[in-house]
Amino acid sequence: MKADPADLGRLLELQGLDTALEQVKRKAAALPVHQVIAGLMKQRAETNDALIAAKTALSDTADAAARAEADVVPVRERLARNEARVHAGEMDAKALSSALDEIEHLKARISDLEDAQLEAMETVERADARVGELTQRLGAIEQDLREQVAARDAAVAELAAQAKELTQARADKAGQIAPDVSGLYEKIRVRANGLGVARFEGRRCGACGLEATVADLNRYVAALPDEVIRCAECDRILVR
């Protein structure tokens, strides 16, 4: 295959633009902030799940506290009625003794119920504090996440602008090269990990790094300036 030697030089420039463009794309995909965001999103999900569970627990403990409070009301009312009957002095000795025994029983029952009510209220306070803690934590995570997303978007936008410039420069450079030469380069580049052309210097291919044999070196040197030579090892275009 024949090619204008100037086109071969332009191929090297095109390769440089393609390499730079690929580097920009890889950099955009490998920004450390991506991992930071992924970590924050995981934290947000876990904290949100914990918050839902805490709110459920708070609701359950609040219901339990309400039941404990409701349980003590009728016992207090019965105690008040019995004490009123005793104070009225209208019972005989047997009824009075029975009323006094029940009063002592009711007082003990009220004490137990009040202990249970107090414990339920303390549980509510702890559950409420847990909800507040998780709500605050979730807010901090979401704020951090918003900041990191903004930083990522800014970094990606900057790299996208670089990629746009490189893409335009690549299109301009490709337009200066004969179609058959650029077509060959593209075919090789696609199957050779993005590298389609390299310099041949010091008897070595700049792509695969292997040194040419004596026979291959003689063939390369004997080739006319407009002849497209290919590396015998990696098949990429060589520019002498």
DSSP bridge pairs for 205? 200
Say what the pLDDT of residue 216 is. Answer: 95
Domains, in order of start, for the chain: 28-177 (1.10.287.1700), 196-239 (no CATH)
Q: Count CA atoms closer than 13 A to 170's CA, side-chain side.
A: 17
Least confident among 39-43, 61-65, 171-175, 229-233: 61-65
Mean pLDDT across the chain: 93
pLDDT in tens, 4-34: 999 999 999 999 999 999 999 999 999 999 9
Residue 93 pLDDT class (50, 70, 90 cuts): confident
Say what the pLDDT of residue 220 is. Answer: 94
